[in-house]
Chain A
Amino acid sequence: MSHDMTPNLVLVVVIGVLVAVGVYLLLERSLSRVLIGIILIGNGVNLSFLVAGGAAGGAPIVGTTPIDEMSDPLPQAMVLTAIVITLGMTAFLLALAYRSWQLHRHDEVQDDVEDHRIARLAALDEPSFADVDTLDTTTDLEREAAEARDETQAIPVGPAGRRAGPA
């Protein structure tokens, strides 16, 4: 690198604080706090591109600044793209939080209902699904046996007064 590549300590600390606060907010239930968390982390990460570009220099326009003193333009181009994307996503998340508020009068991130259902069944030690054809618990083995046709009744009784087949 033609110029100083030592990272800027202030920027690094700011990135650390932004990301840390963002992660904390991301763990909240309320979607608007999650949204603020995402914005903070996003800004922290965007700042990391400034660090990636090295020390600040002159405007990277050929003819105005000697090439050795230019800032690195590539991370700036990338961070600009990333900012636009973050902005779009923030807007969408905001709309989502509003819709959630419209529907439920709160914007809390809700749990998966189905997971709850299966967890409850597991706690009760019940099967997670029902088998319709075998669900009828009243037909236990004995009753079923009583209802079934007994083939041995049809076998003729032998001369010794005993059944011909095995008992």
Chain B
Amino acid sequence: MSDLSWLVPLPVVLPLTGAGLALALWRHARAQRVITLVALSLSLVASCLLLVQADAGPLTVDVGGWSAPVGISLVADRLSALMLAISSAVTLCVLVYSLAQGVADGDIETPVAIYHPSYLVLAAGIAIAFLAGDLFNLYVGFEVLLAASYVLITLTGTAERIRSGTIYIVVALLSSVIFLFAIGLAYSATGTVNMAQLALRLPEINPGVALALQLLLLLAFGIKAAIFPLSAWLPDSYPTAPAPVTAVFAGLLTKVGVYAIIRTQTLLFPGGRADDLLMWAALATMVVGVLGAVAQNDIKRLLSFTLVSHIGFMIFGIALSSEAGMAAAIFYVVHHITVQTTLFLVAGLLERRGGTTSLDQLGGLAKIAPFLAVLFFVPAMNLAGIPPFSGFLGKVGLLQAGAAVGTPLAYTLIAGGVVTSLLTLYALIKAWNKAFWQSAPAPVPARHLPRGMVGSAAALAVLGVSLTVVAGPLYSYTERAAHDLHGRTVYIEAVLPAGGRGSGISDDVATTDAGEVTP
């Protein structure tokens, strides 16, 4: 399928080009909006085509014609393509929401000029991270998306955003430095940063060094994915940003960390030496996160804590080191991206309608905004894992995979997962009850909700529900993806075909042997 490999860089190139254009046209708000919309729509189309194509086999591009172990390779296998497609769909929906919000707030002529370029750079960074075929470009992808996220989280520079943004930025910088250090060590130990070649060379080096690398990478990605005890920064940082920004962060940024964990753990470190550690981390993430959610009385903070908590489910699936566990984890990632984003968008609507996100002050909204009540209720139930929603299917898959592994620790995690689901249900029902059902402590001012905001939130909610409808094909897709990840050869063969070299033109320089350069 290499004839279609020109599709691979598009999800990166389109938003980046758009970002440049939007930055150049910073005085023209209308043009910025059109550019952003077009760039993200096109990259959604490209991602969907990739999703179809990657099912036949991974597509690779050696950037600039430099063959793989030397040059930069971009790889779209089943996992990458699936993540790309779902993230493009989510970024587009959130964009429409933020456009409608901007229009409703009357800032058509005077928007924050940096919003659209940053948003596009964020989308490009996410795409680079998903497509990167080597550790260093994974790092670059992370930095690109983080740089954009720093701008977005401190947008307009109010005191509250600066306060929470500071913590977010310092923590993110620290995790990037740890990641960079791990890359340096990996290069010292193996002479390569190409992930396919690393997969071949890591078994040959000292297992102690390999374990150190694995743990360093887990530490770096664990901070980004907000795994307990590295998650304390998240519930403090996210809620202060504007609703669309929080929504896209909650949906995607932590999942990029989860994706990086899946990629490195399966490809570079098979055999599951860190599985017990990951399982304990997953258990603690699930339980501590959801206990945090129960204690909150601000709906955005409550949702941030459920976000942390549900990362634990994905880590559980990864830690099982089985195909079934991985398939369920990938399915859960897809489900969670849509649902968590929807919930944050609805929280934004709620804030707009009720004037606050504090559950102490909200109330009685079911009567005056019944559609909003439904719009919150459906993804909330989806997140809690009520049948027949996709959250239920993902959780059942995870629990079954856990039972199939059958160790006492796995059963402990199953119990932890069930308790977490119940507590999630409790926290969300409490929130729904207080915001929509019980009487309001003070009368709610009548405010109009823009149709575009409600529409895009509803579209995402429908996308979340439709994951249930297409759960069969989607689940078999994630099973195939998990099979590829588990087998490893598909990925390695795609990047380094027979002869151990990519398809570039630099044949006279690249060699197959350990970092050696032949004359």
State whether B169 touches A92 (Cβ < 8 A): yes
**What number of residue pairs across chains A and B have CB atoms under 8 A from each other?**
123
Segment of A38-46, A137-145, A146-154, A156-164 engaged in the interface with chain B: A38-46
Per the CB 8 Å criterion, the residue count for chain B at the interface is: 52
From B140, B166, B187, B440, give the contact of A100 (CB < 8 A). B166
**Binary per-residue interface labels of chain B (45-73) against chain A in the complex, 1 for a CB within 8 Å, 0 otherwise:** 00000000000000000000000001000
State whether A103 touches B159 (Cβ < 8 A): yes
Instruction: Select from chain B the residue with minimum beta-carbon distance to A77.
Output: B136
Residue among B147, B359, B517 with most chain A CB within 10 A: B517
State whether A38 touches B438 (Cβ < 8 A): no
From B151, B187, B301, B515, give the contact of A114 (CB < 8 A). B301
B154 at the interface (CB under 8 A from A): yes
Beyond A104-B159, A131-B434, whether A38 also contacts B170 by CB under 8 A is yes
A-chain residues with CB within 8 Å of residue B295 when the two chains form the complex: 118, 128
B174 at the interface (CB under 8 A from A): yes
B-chain residues with CB within 8 Å of residue A52 when the two chains form the complex: 184-185, 187-188
State whether A128 touches B439 (Cβ < 8 A): no
A-chain residues with CB within 8 Å of residue B438 when the two chains form the complex: 131-133
State whether B187 touches A99 (Cβ < 8 A): no
State whether B140 touches A81 (Cβ < 8 A): yes
Instruction: Select from chain A the residue with minimum beta-carbon distance to B294.
Output: A128
Instruction: Select from chain A the residue with minimum beta-carbon distance to B70.
Output: A74
How far, in angstroms, from A115 to B292 measured CA to CA in the complex? 10
State whether B181 touches A48 (Cβ < 8 A): yes
Instruction: Select from chain B the residue with minimum beta-carbon distance to A1.
Output: B515
State whether A26 touches B174 (Cβ < 8 A): yes
**Binary per-residue interface labels of chain A (92-133) against chain B in the complex, 1 for a CB within 8 Å, 0 otherwise:** 110010011001100001101011001000000000111111
**Given contact pairs A99-B157, A128-B295, a sample of 14 additional A-B residue pairs in the complex whose CB atoms are under 8 Å apart:** A45-B184, A48-B184, A72-B515, A78-B183, A81-B136, A82-B139, A89-B147, A89-B176, A92-B169, A115-B236, A129-B360, A131-B434, A132-B360, A132-B434
Q: Can you list 17 contacts pairing A with B, beta carbon distance less than 8 Å?
A: A7-B188, A31-B166, A51-B188, A67-B519, A75-B187, A78-B136, A78-B187, A82-B180, A85-B140, A96-B165, A99-B154, A103-B162, A112-B164, A129-B296, A129-B297, A131-B438, A133-B438
